[in-house]
């Protein structure tokens, strides 16, 4: 076993953060359509959480936002002329497409990629596969830039292996780490990787939701496991319950979360809960630590309250296997059954014994909680030293990024602002400066208006 720690790399909220209701199946996204957003506040809320976790001794990184509005996508769809004319034409002819090309959704880095630690992979390197996010246009345009940002953050080929996204078709719909978790005793141990999927694409008779789409397929999970060189005996596949997807649970991380030797999930999360438990315990065989299944009954917390509060879209953090902190959004405190449950949970003899609450209202209003905002990467000391140091949170970076946000972000944004060429200029100017702050090289490829 190599000594290792789990790092969290949070997405920095971009300058065009807005509410356009783009994510069919995401209740919060649909419910808050057309509300004004507050990009500066959103970015600062995220930075506050990042800094707080770094201060608690956890490795905390930052992943940069993408260029938005994304002019290359608009040009591919037939809008021509100068960049300003492209925006004006898109706003007039296809405002919904402009809104999609302006989304700041890359801040939810749980969807950025699937990551397998070096202790799990065939070649002893950390493997990254950017998610194709094919189910939503506004997210399907992310994976190329995501791959570039990951490569700039984890650049040493001795330690890091980067794959292309899977083919961009529904059969291989891949939503990244939002449907993936890992179990282990110590982070440096060989772990169990749990892949959760919504449907089997090549089997038309398999169960699937009726109202909302199943965004992630079994075939995508199997492909990522192959690419990463994972051992069959240490991989578990489990199907999300179709009815719970139809209730607004668009990713598994809205209804379940895992860490080390604990799996915290709702009673309605999986199509076959007993099989999921059996498969994990078979893969867990040989570990000295006990494994904890923490199942929340429906009569204690309803699925509706899970979606409203994002109880499970939380972070489970730990410095040792039996001392875990759960990081939840403020909405959990405002949902009585959820808050009562959390208080009972931390008072019990289980592994989760502390709760921390953070205000993430700007992200939550668009359907993303603490778990959506972070990508987990297990790092040995040598791998940690190979990470781009300018992407790791500390006092200096926190101060510098807050100054950067104050200088470049708007206080308030409405959908009509997306057609303003000045917003594009502001965003590009901000990203130009960010590449220097975080030493990202040429991850962005745009021209000035």
Q: Tell how strand 113-116 and strand 59-63 pair up.
A: unpaired
What average pLDDT does range 214-231 have in this prediction? 97
Give the tokens for residue 98: 């402009």
Q: Can you name the CATH fold of 4-437?
A: 3.75.10
At residue 349 the predicted structure's pLDDT band, cuts being 50, 70 and 90, is: confident
Q: Is 283 helix (H, G, I), strand (E, B) or coil?
A: helix
Per residue in 160-198, pLDDT (tens digit) is 999 999 999 999 999 999 999 999 999 999 999 999 999
Q: What are the pLDDT digits (tens) for 102-136?
A: 999 999 999 999 999 999 999 999 999 999 999 99
pLDDT exceeds 80 at position 39: yes
- What integer pLDDT is reported at residue 350 of this predicted model? 92
Q: What angle do CA 128, 374, 19 make, to 5 degrees?
A: 115
Give the phi and the psi of residue 162 in degrees, each rounded to 5: -115, 130
Q: How many CB atoms lie within 10 A of CB 406?
A: 11
Burial label, 190 (beta-carbon count in 10 A; 0-12, 13-18, 19+): middle
The mean pLDDT of the chain is 93
pTM for this predicted structure: 0.95
Q: Please, where are the H alpha helices in 158-210? A: none
CA-derived radius of gyration, the chain: 21
Region of poorest pLDDT, from 16-25, 84-93, 183-192, 294-303: 16-25
449 or 30, greater pLDDT: 30
Confidence category of residue 251, pLDDT binned at 50, 70, 90: very high
Instruction: Assign 321 a pLDDT band (cuts: 50, 70, 90).
Output: confident
Residue 369 confidence class, pLDDT cut points 50, 70, 90 = confident
**Running DSSP on this structure, what letter comes out for residue 217?**
B
Q: Give the tokens for residue 296.
A: 């929340």
Q: State the average pLDDT over residues 344-354.
A: 94
Structure tokens of 104?
């700041």
- What are the pLDDT digits (tens) for 5-37? 999 999 999 999 987 656 444 444 455 456 788
State residue 362's pLDDT score.
83
Q: Does pLDDT of 306 surpass 90?
A: yes
Mean pLDDT within 220-233: 98
Lowest mean pLDDT among 191-195, 198-202, 341-345, 445-449: 445-449
Is residue 449 pLDDT above 70, yes or no? no
- Could you tell me which of 108, 277, 96, 283 has the C-alpha nearest to residue 178? 108
pLDDT at position 28: 45
Q: What is the DSSP string of 243-266?
A: HHHHTT--SGGGTEEEETTEEEEE
Q: Are 66 and 447 a contacting pair, CB within 8 Å?
A: no
Average pLDDT over residues 336-347: 97
DSSP string across 6-48: EEEEEEPPPTT-------TT-HHHHHTTT--B-HHHHHHHHHH
Instruction: Tell whether omega for the bond before 69 is within 30 degrees of 0, i.e. cis.
Output: yes
Nearest residue to 207 via CA among 173, 242, 237, 238 = 242
Q: Using 50, 70 and 90 to split pLDDT, how confident is the model at 448?
A: very low
**Between 237 and 35, whose confidence is greater?**
237
pLDDT of residue 29: 46
- The catalytic residues are 175, 251, 372
Q: At what angle do helices 39-55 and 395-408 cross, to 10 degrees?
A: 180
Domain ranges of the chain: 4-437
The 10 Å CB-count burial string (b at 16+, else e) for 117-129 is bbbbbeeebbbbb
% residues pLDDT > 90 (the chain):
88
Residues 351-363 have pLDDT tens digits of 999 999 998 888 8
Q: Which residue has the higher pLDDT, 349 or 9?
A: 9
Q: Is the pLDDT of residue 258 over 70?
A: yes
């Amino acid at each position: 076993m190599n000594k290792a720690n789990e790092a969290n790399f949070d997405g920095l909220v971009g300058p065009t953060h807005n509410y356009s209701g783009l994510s069919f199946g995401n209740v919060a996204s649909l419910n808050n359509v057309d509300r004004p957003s507050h990009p500066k506040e959103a970015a600062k809320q995220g930075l506050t959480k990042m800094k707080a976790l770094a201060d608690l001794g956890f490795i905390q990184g930052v992943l940069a936002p993408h260029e938005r509005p994304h002019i290359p996508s608009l040009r591919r769809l037939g809008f021509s002329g100068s960049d300003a004319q492209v925006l004006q034409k898109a706003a007039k002819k296809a405002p919904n497409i402009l809104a999609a090309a302006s989304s700041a959704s890359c801040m939810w880095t749980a969807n950025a990629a699937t990551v397998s630690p070096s202790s799990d992979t065939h070649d002893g390197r950390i493997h990254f596969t950017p998610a194709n996010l094919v189910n939503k246009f506004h997210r399907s345009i992310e994976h190329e830039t995501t791959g570039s940002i990951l490569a700039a953050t984890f650049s040493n080929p001795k330690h890091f292996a980067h794959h292309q996204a899977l083919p961009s078709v529904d059969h291989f719909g891949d939503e990244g780490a939002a449907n993936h978790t890992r179990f282990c005793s110590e982070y440096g141990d060989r772990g169990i990787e749990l892949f959760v999927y919504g449907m089997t694409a090549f089997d038309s008779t398999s169960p699937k939701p009726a109202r909302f789409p199943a965004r992630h397929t079994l075939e995508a999970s199997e492909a990522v496991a192959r690419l990463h060189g994972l051992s069959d005996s240490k991989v578990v596949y489990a199907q999300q319950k179709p009815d719970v997807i139809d209730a607004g649970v668009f990713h598994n991380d809205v209804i379940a979360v895992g860490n080390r030797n604990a799996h915290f999930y709702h009673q309605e999360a999986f199509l076959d809960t007993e099989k999921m438990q059996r498969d994990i315990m078979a893969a867990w065989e040989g570990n000295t630590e006990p494994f904890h299944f923490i199942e929340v009954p429906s009569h204690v917390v309803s699925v509706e309250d899970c979606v409203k509060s994002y109880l499970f879209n939380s972070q489970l953090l730990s410095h040792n296997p039996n001392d875990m902190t759960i990081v939840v959004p403020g909405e959990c405190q405002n949902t009585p059954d959820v808050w009562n449950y959390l208080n009972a949970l931390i008072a019990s003899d289980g592994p989760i014994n502390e709760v921390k609450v953070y205000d993430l209202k700007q992200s939550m209003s668009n359907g993303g909680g603490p778990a959506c905002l972070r990508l987990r990467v297990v790092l040995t000391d040598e791998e940690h030293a190979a990470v781009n140091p300018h992407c790791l949170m500390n006092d200096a970076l926190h101060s510098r990024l807050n100054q950067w946000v104050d200088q470049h972000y708007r206080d308030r944004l409405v959908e009509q602002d997306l057609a303003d060429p000045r917003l594009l200029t502001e965003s590009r100017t901000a990203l130009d400066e960010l590449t220097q702050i975080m030493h990202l090289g040429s991850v962005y490829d745009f021209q000035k208006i």
